[in-house]
Amino acid sequence: MTTIAGNLQQVKERLWRACDGASRGSAEVTLLAVSKTFGPDAVRQAHAAGQTAFGENYVQEGVEKIALVAESLPRAAIEWHCIGPVQSNKTRLVAAQFDWVQSVDRLKIAQRLSEQRPPELPPLNVCLQVNVDGGPNKAGVPPAELPALAEAVAALPRLRLRGLMCIPEPAPDFESQRALFALARAAYDDLHARGHALDTLSMGMSEDLEAAVAAGATMVRVGRAVFGARAPKPVASPAA
């Protein structure tokens, strides 16, 4: 029988082996459990098994789940990450409800998030999404434009720039996966060299977390390997 607790244990063992293989300490890589399309009970089960950081792709679905989970767990028990596209008309919700946003790729969105972050909350943690494989229609900022965006975002008062996130196209084998992740790692190192104090390189999912860890990920975002297969279409709420 597979359970969320059992799946979590297996993912952690994969992470430990990957860290070991890359001569990295297992404490260097955080696991973000991607709970999109799964209900609040799945989040509660994972939390009961020790998982505290959760990622959501769809703002409306995430906000509803945050409220439902908060009925039985203190809000501060869970760190909620928005990892999907953020449209202008959703920035107020995201700024008020999430702890992190990993998918910022435009200054305009960052400015709105900073302006709309409620004063009683700590600054919103932000990663810039970088488009490492250069597809013209993909989300994410091209690596060449990162330094300017990072500088502008770092100056916003109610955001805290933590690092980079990327979602490369699926690649067929370990070495080609690692080569794509290495591009994000190079961009991350470049921002460090420019004086940004970053601590988060978010990359790697259920299929390719080993390659991401080998390339230097500090956070992997894992959905199916923790919660099981998703329904083919997102379970979108009518308002989403």
Ligand X SMILES: *Cc1c(COP(=O)(O)O)cnc(C)c1O
Q: Tell me which of 48, 148, 224, 237 binds ligand X, using CB under 6 A.
A: 224
Q: Does 12 bind ligand X (CB under 6 A)?
A: no
Span 93-152, contacts to ligand X by CB under 6 A: none
Least distance between ligand X and beta carbon 193 (Å): 27
Stretch that binds ligand X, among 9-17, 90-98, 131-139, 219-227 (CB under 6 A): 219-227
Three-class secondary structure assignment of the chain: CCCHHHHHHHHHHHHHHHHHHCCCCHHHCEEEEECCCCCHHHHHHHHHCCCCEEEECCHHHHHHHHHHHCCCCCHHHCEEEECCCCCHHHHHHHHHHCCEEEEECCHHHHHHHHHHCCCCCCCEEEEEEECCCCCCCCCCECHHHHHHHHHHHHCCCCEEEEEEECCCCCCCCHHHHHHHHHHHHHHHHHHHHCCCCCCEEECCCCCCHHHHHHCCCCEEEECHHHHCCCCCCCCCCCCC
Determine which residue in the list 82, 141, 167, 191 makes contact with ligand X, applying CB under 6 A.
167
Kindly tell me which of 153 and 222 has the beta carbon lying closer to ligand X: 222
Compute how many residues bind ligand X; rule: CB under 6 A: 13
- Which residues contact ligand X by CB under 6 A? 34, 36, 57, 83, 167, 205-207, 221-225
